[in-house]
A = this chain, B = another copy of it.
């Protein structure tokens, strides 16, 4: 009895997290309702507030449960690469694979739940709610610092400002893709066919695109638009 009671406690929390993950993914943060989440989990509405305190806290718990191990793994992989490189700069392809490849491989390894979380994290990047952005920026702070530094070393001829922008673009391409909304119905069979196959196909495609963008020729300081106003903040020399 006592063992089953304590097991039930963990089950309630876990069921809530699983149900919340799915509903938040499908409806977005604002669109999701505690009633639906707790209903899907088979627990009472107030049980959600008992275990997590609020809808915001529940969302944060859903995010952190998987995001923390993901980012720890990203740091671990980068550590391993840098140890092997023995002081030399890494190749851009290694860095991108450590960052984006780790994401996709972990999602594949977790099956359907990994797929669900992949979409959730993709959509979460564009959630407007302020607390979500705070949670994400805190959770990603260390990883981004480390990976930015690795990219700076890997591409010493590219201005740091440009690398940051390109990191931004890469995150956008990736998060939009894994969000899987496919708003414009460009990829018709995505999210209908076998998801695992799609994910395994996605990685090489995405990697070649991101690498191509990262290593693209630098833009001219004079913009190609008809009326260059010339007050672009681009710096051509290092400070």
Contact = CB atoms under 8 A, between A and B. Distances in A.
Interface string A14-56: 0000000000001110110000000000000000000000000
Contacts of A208: 216-219
A181 to B, nearest CB: 6
A170 interface: yes
Given A213-B216, A219-B207, A176 B126 contact: yes
Contacts of A214: 209, 212
Interface residues of A, number: 77
Nearest to A217: B208
Contacts of A144: 184, 186
Contacts of A91: none
B128 A169 contact: no
Contacts of A140: 184
Residue of A172, A198, A215 with highest tally of chain B CB at under 10 A? A172
A187 B177 CA distance: 21
A210 interface: yes
Contacts of A167: 186
B232 A197 contact: yes
A76 interface: no
Contacts of A216: 208-209, 211-213
A174 interface: yes
Interface in A177-231: 177, 179, 181-187, 193, 197-198, 200-201, 203-220, 223-225, 229, 231
A30 to B, nearest CB: 4
Contact of A168 (B162, B187, B218): B187
A71 to B, nearest CB: 12
Interface of A: 26-28, 30-31, 97, 101, 105, 122-129, 132-133, 136-137, 140-141, 144, 162, 164-177, 179, 181-187, 193, 197-198, 200-201, 203-220, 223-225, 229, 231-234
